[in-house]
Amino acid sequence: MELRVLKYFLAVAREENITAAAQSMHVTQPTLSKQLKELEDELGTQLFIRGNRKIILTEDGIFLRKRAQEILDLAEKTETELKESDEMICGEINIGGGETDAIRILAKVVKQITKEYPLIHFHLYSGNANDVIDRLDCGLLDFGILIEPVDLNKFDFQKLPATDTWGLLMRKDSPFATKNSIKQEDLIDLPLLCSNQTLVKNELSGWAGIDFDKMNIIVTYNLIFNASIMVQEDVGYALCLDKLINTTGDSNLIFKPLEPPLVVGLDIVWKKYQVFSKASKIFLARLQESIAKETAHF
């Protein structure tokens, strides 16, 4: 597969129309149609269902759209890194992670580096642990921030000097809003919104001492913001980490920690034997220096 052809494929997937895609890619319609037919022949599968007015992706086409975008992103990232000058430090650093207040630790380092090296640019990707690990494996991310528990066997990592606390996000008019904390028995019959990650569910099951499948989980989520809106609309209560949703001022939400406390650590990880760009080496070194200084104060 040529990168050029993958760009043609993505244009058709985006425009859902051969003519519009050809115009956007500055090629003739027959040329584009021929390239797509050759791509299907090469892969041995049908990628599109061709209608009179609209082109629809098949299941294989949907899969290729995801992979094609990852391939093109990786190619662009590789080209950028290879163009780095020996005299000038520049480059792209891609960091992914779940939602956590610990991003403040990285923010201080990013601020320092961008002042000193204005040609270093950072790209943040938000996703759950599964998303971040997949993108690390594909080489689309240089670093990932993972909330424990997580399998670190295939990564090198640096523990972050921060922890997150699990609790229950609820409306301020909830009958539980006057409690100082939430106990296991409080969760039994509540309509819950919970992370869709298996490791998270296992962690919470271990804390609760009950079969999590028997809990009244009505919604699962991968990022908390949309779940918090459902809590605002009185859909249920969200099991989540503290400090991710604003519960101050005019907010109608409040967070209550679990009891006994369920506190988790955080790690910044990267692939073992990874060959870092100069920019990534600088970032990791500065981050480790910052962590060492902060740890020394305790």
Domains annotated on the chain, with CATH = 3-79 (1.10.10.10), 86-161+266-296 (3.40.190.10), 163-264 (3.40.190.10)
Nearest in space to 262 (alpha carbons), one of 193, 162, 163: 163
Q: 10-14, 32-36, 127-131, 204-208: lowest mean pLDDT where?
A: 204-208
Q: 165-174, 197-206, 237-246: lowest mean pLDDT where?
A: 197-206
Please write the tens of the pLDDT for every residue from 251-273.
999 999 999 999 999 999 999 98
pLDDT at residue 297, rounded to an integer? 61
Give dist(CA 66, CA 63) in Å, integer: 5
Q: Decide if pLDDT at 214 tops 80.
A: no
Mean predicted lDDT score pLDDT of the chain: 89
Q: Decide if pLDDT at 232 tops 90.
A: yes
From the centroid of its chain, how far is CA 286? 23
Give dist(CA 127, CA 42) in Å, integer: 33
Instruction: List Cβ<8 Å contacts ≥24 apart for 76-81.
Output: 77/139, 77/140, 81/277
Q: 101-110, 116-125, 201-210: lowest mean pLDDT where?
A: 201-210
Give dist(CA 249, CA 252) in Å, integer: 9
113 compared with 275, residue with greater pLDDT: 113
pLDDT at residue 295, rounded to an integer? 77
